[in-house]
Amino acid sequence: MNLKNQRLLTGQSFINGQFINANKQKTFSVTNPYDGKHIIDVADCSASETQSAITKANEAFVSWRQLTGTERSTILRRWFELQMENIDDLAMILTVEQGKPLAEAKGEIRYGASFVEWFAEEAKRAYGDTIPGHQRDKRIVVIKQPIGVVAAITPWNFPSAMITRKVAPALAAGCTVVIKPSELTPLSANALAVLAQDAGFPSGVLNIVNTSTPEKVGKELTANPTVRKLSFTGSTEVGKILLRQCSDTVKKVSLELGGNAPFIVFDDADINEAVEGAIAAKYRNAGQTCVCANRMFVQDGIYEEFTQRFTKAVQQLIIGSGLEKGVVIGPLIEEKAVQSIEFVVADAIDKGANLLTGGNRKDKDSLFFQPTVLTDVTPDMKVFIQEIFGPVAPIFKFETDEVVIALANDTPYGLAAYFYGRDYARIWRVAEALEYGMVGINTGMLSTPVAPFGGIKESGFGREGSKYGMDDYLDMKYLCWGGI
**Cβ atoms 255, 247 nearer than 8 A:** no
Sheet strands side by side (includes 206-208): 18-20, 13-15, 206-208, 176-180, 149-153, 227-233, 252-256, 460-461
- Going by C-alpha positions, the residue among 68, 40, 172 that lies closest to residue 465 is 172
Instruction: Give catalytic status of residue 81 as yes or no.
Output: no
Tell whether the torsion through CA atoms of 301, 306, 307 and 308 is positive or negative: positive
* Residue of 97, 117, 256, 464 with catalytic role: 256
Options 97, 290, 387, 458, the catalytic residue: 290
Rounded CA-CA distance 221/283 in Å is 34
Helices 187-199 and 87-98, interaxial angle, to 10°?
160
Q: 292 an active-site residue?
A: no
Active site residues: 256, 290
